[in-house]
Structure formats: C-alpha cells, structure tokens
Amino acid sequence: MSNEQPEASGGRQRPSAVILHVDMDAFFVSVEILHDPSLANRPVIVAHDSGRSVVLSASYDCRALGVRSAMPISRAKQLAPHALVVEPKHTLYYEASHRVMDALREITPLVEQVSVDEAFLDVTGSLRRLGRPREIGQHVRELIWERLSLPCSVGIGPNKFVAKMASTSSKPQGLLEVPPRDVVAFLHPKPIRALWGVGPKTAETLERVGIKTVADLAHTPRATLSKLLGSSGAHLHDLAWGIDQRGIQTEREEKSIGAEETFASDVWDFDSLEVEILKLSHKVARRLRSSSAVARGVTLKIKFEDFSTITRSVTLGSPSNAATVVAQAATQLLKNERPRLRAVRLIGVRCDHLQEDSGERQFTFERADSNWPALDTVADAIAEKFPGVSPLPATLLKSPAKAQSPRLPPEPPK
C-alpha cells in the first residue's frame, strides 16, 4: 500500500499552510475554578443538578471515570459520586471567551472562532515575525495563561483538520505539531471513531464492513465509501489522507442564539411555563448583547411528554436584544398554543435573523419599549462589575421550587 496522498475530490490540495487549533481545557470548569479557587484539585461537573439535565463540562479526573459532555447528570453522578455539581454561569463563560479571542487576535487577525472555547489561527504569513510554528503555539498558551490564568491545548498542522486532530491528541494542556511529512503517519493508526466528523452511526456503518482504522478508510476505494455513506464518503476519504481545503473564515455570522430548559418533571402549569420563558429570555438577551447583536425574530420551542415537539415563530416590529421584548414575544406564542397545551417536558427560546447592534439607545421616563435596552445595559454593567451577580425581574426572585413546581392536571369529572 502506498502512503502517497491522493488528490482531493475537489481538485489538487492547496499548498501547505500553518494552522493552529486552540482548544481551552475543560473550559467551563476552568472558569468556575477561577471564580471559586476552592474548587481547584477537586472533581467538578458543571451542570444543572436536576434529573433530566446533561453535563456541560467535567474536570479531567471526572472524565477519567467516564463522565462526558452531554451525558445525563444522573449517569454522571453514578460514575463520579464524589464530584461537586456546579450550576453553570454562562455570563462568566462568555466574558472569558471574548477575552480569549481578543488575545488570539493580537497574534494574527486570521482567527476563526468555532465555539465558545476553540478557534483556528492561520499564522502562515506570520512565521518570519513570530518564529517557528511550535514557538508560536507555545506563545499562545503562555499568553492565555498570563492574561486569564486559563489552560489550553494547541494543535499545529498544515490545515484545519490536522490541527484539530493534533490539539485533541495533546489534551490537556499540551502542544503538538504535525508537519506535512508526518500527517499520514499521525492519522492512519488512529481508530475510525477518532476521526473528526465520524459520529457513532457512521462509525458503526464503517466497522460493520471491517473499516476500523483511519488507514482502513484511506485505502478503501472512494466509490465503495460513496455507496456506504453517500456524499460524505468522498469527504471522509480526503480527511483520512489529511486533505482539507477549507480556509479560515474570520467573520463567522451566528444565525441564531437560544437557550432551553428540560424540566425535572413534566410541567402542566401555564404560569410556571411563563416564568421559565422569562428566565430563558434573559439568558438569550444577555448573549445577544455580549455578541453586539440584535434579533428580528423570536422562536418558541416546546417538547411534550411524548417527545413530540413544536416550534412557533414571530417577527419583531424592530430588531431588539432587550429581554423584556424577547419575553413578551415568546410568551404571546405560548398563549397562542394554550388551548392545545399538555404536559411539557422542555421549553426553549431562540432569537434569529440576527444583525449587528447599532448601539443607538434613548432613555425616557415612560414605559416605552426603547427603555428596556437601556435597563438591560445597566444590568449588564452591574453583572460585569460584580461577577456572579445577575440582576433579574422580581418575578424570577421567587423560590425556584415555587416558580417551576409541576402541577398535576385536574382530575376528570366523575
């Protein structure tokens, strides 16, 4: 078998670049430790501590016990019974994320943020100024630690895919460079499930026909993979040879911002659903403002006890990032569905049709819609000055048990 890389399905691969993938280590947990140093060196799981919640992040000692992101919290507590379950503080995470990305853009303007805790950097044109790739990667790790006291891992490769695989292999708090000459040797011994882009179903399909390693995938004819996997077959074949022609997208438009809540018990009470919508609207609106965005549309998502789901949307009169405006729109959507409501398992609020916030605000003493953004701005300033403090409407200051306690439906007439 030859290790010579084939041409990509879309043509010849572009000349090698130097791409860094920066991935924050257990980001939510690390930010929580920064906020509360007493959590250091202790097993920590970030999640809402309720029956149907899922793990958002876990410390590496918990991961060693099998705890993973998106795992039900009930299962995570079985695997790590001594772990501390910490309620998530999303405002702190987004503030830290902005500071991380600002630091990365000091190294190069060619930064593509792909999530709250990871980004790609193209330093191809900066080697003469910044030094060798490994030196740049080390500088990134030191800069983030000096600025934020947060750990990260850095992968370096000739394209985004190899850089991502390298950072994953170096975690936690590692640095790994995979130069072009070593790409095939680095990728081919890995199990097929380690390949970025191969999910459980795809892995099962491939393993069923004896494709268990990346090398197996690389040496499977492209036509065979297309029959097995459809249009994604050729793409995965390219990745198995380390071929990835995607460039860095410095502007990544976020199409929507949302939040949702899965209840510990199915909720029948309409008032409780209204309170939850208000809480979610404040979360979403804070994220809009932190992204300097306003939304034209609001969508309500409801999942019922039988797992059937509906979504209802509305277009706002003018773009907004005010929590009250979002809540009013979502609540009206809920009221429209009231005759058809039954036991609710999950409810969510999402803002879409986003655009940049012009920043124009006018404060008056009348209860006009234009006042709400100004009030939210004041609340944001308070939260920034006092981390962990989030000013909320009085409605949300009720005890959570009272505000969200499910009620049984009325008994049918006898």
Q: What is the pLDDT of residues 221-236, one digit of tens each?
A: 999 999 998 888 999 9
255 pLDDT tier (thresholds 50, 70, 90): confident
189 pLDDT tier (thresholds 50, 70, 90): very high
Residues annotated as catalytic (active site), given as ranges: 118
Residues of the binding site: 23, 117
Instruction: Answer yes or no: pTM beyond 0.75.
Output: no
Query: Which tokens hold the place of 227?
Result: 């029959």
Q: What is the pLDDT of residues 112-142, one digit of tens each?
A: 998 889 999 999 988 888 899 999 999 999 9
Q: What is the DSSP letter of 191?
A: B
- Residue 242 gets the label, from left (phi > 0), alpha (psi -120 to 50) or beta, of left
The answer, yes or no, to whether residue 397 has pLDDT greater than 50, is yes
pLDDT value of position 402 = 38
Q: At what angle do helices 270-290 and 90-107 cross, to 10 degrees?
A: 20
Residues of the binding site for Mg(2+): 23, 117
Residue 112 DSSP SS3: strand
Total Cβ atoms within 10 A of residue 410: 7
The answer, yes or no, to whether residue 188 has pLDDT greater than 70, is yes
Average pLDDT, the chain: 84
Mark out the alpha helices in 36-187 (DSSP H runs).
Answer: 60-63, 73-79, 90-107, 127-130, 133-148, 160-170, 183-187
Q: Are 140 and 152 in contact (CB under 8 A)?
A: yes
Query: Which tokens hold the place of 395?
Result: 């409605």
What are the chain's domains?
A: 19-25+110-185 (3.30.70.270), 27-90 (3.40.1170.60), 188-240 (1.10.150.20), 256-404 (3.30.1490.100)
Query: Which tokens hold the place of 131?
Result: 């030094």
pLDDT value of position 94 = 85
Rounded Cα distance, 257 and 170, in Å: 31
Name the nearest CA neighbour of 26 among 16, 12, 40: 40
